[in-house]
Amino acid sequence: MAETPHVMQPWQAGPLGRALIAAEAQLLATTFDDVFGQDLLQLGTWGAGRELLAQSRIRRQSVVSEPELGGISGDLVANLAHLPISSGSVDAVLLPHTLEYAPDPYAVLREADRVLVAEGQLIVLGFRPASFWGLRSAASRGGYPPGLRRRLGSSRVYDWLGLLSYEIVSHRPYLYRLPRSPRSSVDSTVPSMLHRGWFYPWPAAAYVIKARKRVYTMTPIRPRMRERRAVLGGLVEPSV
């Protein structure tokens, strides 16, 4: 995953972690504006429950967590690189810092691509290596935020998405706060994470990328039925 490893849980419950997740939930509310369909899949737990999905317009939402990294709060517990989910059955996939915690991030990205329908949308949250947060992570034995395995720049994610024939829909930087616990409340901290200002002129430390899956075929894509079974109901055609 990007599951919430055990070492990450106390940090996320602290003031800086809560402010970051609240800011990302607000950021995703805008990102989800043109994301439609019947099934939305979040790979990896990040925060508590479904707070990142709260503003999505997609009615069926499922969170997949991974046991090896402490994820126990999802609707389904599975290896994120080998999902027990039918190919082409999900309208949108959210990866909230998932690739940075995954042992094999490209394998997780390929698996997200497999379960997405044609023209489905993929949303990736990531931390920038070239930032004050990146410097703190490099100087910390346990990484920062705690347990972070790696930082993936947006250019690397772009390269991988290009190999999988995705079209980049949008790319927005965020997280202009320094990596230290805020003295103010969570609500008053969120705006400075999303927008650069006079008191927070630092380079953005994170990004959100939204991309669309393009499928090029000689035959028309058959329209999907208006109603189909829930993704986590009878799902389970494992990946091969």
> What total number of domains does the chain contain?
1
Residue 192 lies in a domain: yes
Q: Report mean pLDDT in 10-residue bins for the chain, 240 residues.
A: 59 90 95 94 88 91 78 78 95 95 93 97 95 87 81 94 96 92 81 81 93 77 56 52
Q: What is the DSSP letter of 113?
A: H
Residue 96 lies in a domain: yes
Q: Of 98, 112, 74, which is closest to residue 239 (Cα–Cα)?
A: 112
CATH for 19: 3.40.50.150
Residue 168 lies in a domain: yes
Residue 224 lies in a domain: no
Residue 233 lies in a domain: no
Rounded to 5°, the CA angle 19-34-233 comes to 85
Residue 184 lies in a domain: yes
For residues 179 and 133, is the Cβ–Cβ distance under 8 A? yes
Local structure of 213: helix, strand or coil: strand
- The per-residue pLDDT for 112 is 98
Torsion of CA 50, 55, 59, 65, to 10 degrees: -20
The parent domain of residue 163 ranges over: 8-213
- The per-residue pLDDT for 186 is 81
- The per-residue pLDDT for 64 is 93
Residue 223 lies in a domain: no
Distance, CA of 225 to CA of 168 (rounded, Å): 27
Residue 221 lies in a domain: no
Q: Per residue in 37-48, is it b (16+ CB within 10 Å) or e — as a string?
A: bbbbbbbbbbbe
Q: Residue length, the chain? A: 240
